[in-house]
Amino acid sequence: MQFELTPELADRIIFAMEDQNEDFILDTETGDLLSVEEMEELEEEAEDDPDRFVSLPDWTPAHGFRLMERFAEELRNPVYQEKLREALSGGRGVFRRFKDTVKEREELERRWHHFKEQAMQEVVTDWYNDLRETWGLERVAVETAETEDLVLSDFTIRRVGEGDHGLLEEVLRAAEEQRREPGRGARGDAAPGPADAPVAAAPPALAFVAEAPDGEIAGVAAGAAGADALAAADAADAAATAARAQGGSLRIDTLYVRPTFRGLGLGRLLLERIVEGARKEGWAGVSMELSGRGLVLDETAAAMGFRTVAKRVSLDLS
């Protein structure tokens, strides 16, 4: 019997699929989900109209485990990708360890729930489409939402004020320490993510921070007056330097995202916000040097209108 897969019915089917203690059957006439015991009471109806009752899609713990593996593999955050892999590599209690790990960060847990919901929605839609084909109807498409945009909506991007300098220095110091770890260059080769610009020694002329839902600083974008603005300024007069910087070029010298927050698109979001802020404050242009793994931002910068004005090449003679 034909029926419409409404969002409400799809949610109830997904909920029933995850119930590992009971098997359910869909009554296409009423839209009810019936247990095995309830189906026994409708045995005569099932014999008279077998097409009325439909089994739900298979969903076992093995399906759930493979879904968790997919999530870990597709996660772009290197820190939590490794943590989730470790959680899944054990034996008993693997589901609990996985859930405990994603709960460590609110945005990660939200990303997981959305990923799981979307994946199970696709399973239900495929099941429904198979039924539609038996009815001689066309398949329907699965509507998807952008997980990244959903998670980023939890973060607050704000301009750094006078009272934030202590906090800003802490974040910049963490960025600098990571760049100077053994085996990393002073300007590049930081952990994956847009973290390869040098750290400014002086307070930035313009800076934005990304705050996680719990208030933790997740990343920072900061810039200073470019060489064209400083050339006309009295270096000894900070106020004059700041004033003459207006109309000059802003040089982004720090674009850093803490390792536990990478893979969410925060680097792109911070870059967009500092460019927007520079435009509103009257800066004539914005420049940024990309090197090492910071080249991951190359396409993002090009899409925003940045153009390449120089290229640095290097040769390893070791």
User: Where along the chain do its domains lie?
Assistant: 7-55, 61-151, 155-304
Taking the C-alpha atoms of residue 278 and residue 284, their distance in angstroms, rounded to an integer, is 8
Is a pLDDT exceeding 60 seen at residue 139? yes
pLDDT confidence bin for 298, thresholds 50/70/90: confident
Specify the DSSP element, H or E, that contains 103: none
Residue range 31-84, pLDDT digits in tens: 999 998 888 888 888 788 878 999 999 999 999 999 999 999 988 888 899 999
Is a pLDDT exceeding 60 seen at residue 239? no
Is a pLDDT exceeding 90 seen at residue 199? no
Query: Average model confidence (pLDDT) for the chain?
Result: 81
Residue 160, class by beta-carbon neighbours within 10 Å (0-12 exposed, 13-18 middle, 19+ buried)?
buried
290's tokens = 């990309």
Taking the C-alpha atoms of residue 58 and residue 318, their distance in angstroms, rounded to an integer, is 57
The CATH architecture of the domain made up of 155-304 is 3-Layer(aba) Sandwich (3.40)
169's tokens = 């220095």
